[in-house]
Amino acid sequence: MAKDMHHLTVKRVYEKAEENEYRILVDRLWPRGVSKKSAAIDLWLKDIAPSPELRKWFGHDPARFREFSSCYVEELEKTSAVSTFINILAEHAQVTLIYAAKDEAINHAVVLKNYIESRCKALKPTAK
């Protein structure tokens, strides 16, 4: 039972790592001005990030966030990186999605977290 229990969070790369936290960088590009040591990244999963075309089109424009989210979910539906991520999630009690965007509410990591949580919920059998 404990294997199914996990905690998924989202943090900017500039925030300090916590103990027992498995940190996955979900950006395609390495964050500027951040050393590998200070980032404390356990895994860099580039393929789960939005495509370069989608990222550039979005440009962190709040007016485009809803459409960006839909397009990003479509990309997530087509990538094997989601299965990789879900397998990793099953192995760690605390997984943190690490990103570099300035806006903490309007970014791809927030969309990814919601998507992964909904996928995990859909995969669990309902108890009767």
Residue 119: the pLDDT is 86
Q: What is the tens place of the pLDDT at every residue in 22-67?
A: 999 999 999 999 999 999 999 999 999 999 999 999 999 999 999 9
Q: Tell me the C-alpha distance between 117 and 10, whole Å.
A: 12
Number of domains in the chain: 1
Of 17 and 6, the one with more pLDDT: 17
Q: Which pLDDT band, with edges at 50, 70 and 90, does 6 fall under?
A: low
In this structure, are residues 21 and 96 in contact, taking their beta carbons and an 8 Å threshold? Answer: yes
In a domain, 84, yes or no: yes
Q: What is the tens place of the pLDDT at every residue in 73-119?
A: 999 999 999 999 988 888 998 999 999 999 999 999 999 999 999 98
Amino acid residing at 94: Q
Q: How far is CA 99 from CA 35, 38, 44, 110, 120, in A?
A: 14, 14, 10, 10, 21
What does the buried/exposed string (b/e) look like for 88-109 if buried means 16 or more CB atoms within 10 Å of the residue's CB? bbeebeebbbbbbbeeeebbbb
pLDDT(1) > 60: no
DSSP for 9-75, written as a single string: EEEETTSPPPTT-EEEE--SSPPTT--HHHHT-SEE-GGGSPPHHHHHHHTT-GGGHHHHHHHHHHH
Q: What is the tens place of the pLDDT at every residue in 76-85?
A: 999 999 999 9
Domain span at residue 13 reads 2-123
Residue 125: the pLDDT is 58
Calculate Rg over the CA atoms of the chain.
Answer: 15
In a domain, 128, yes or no: no
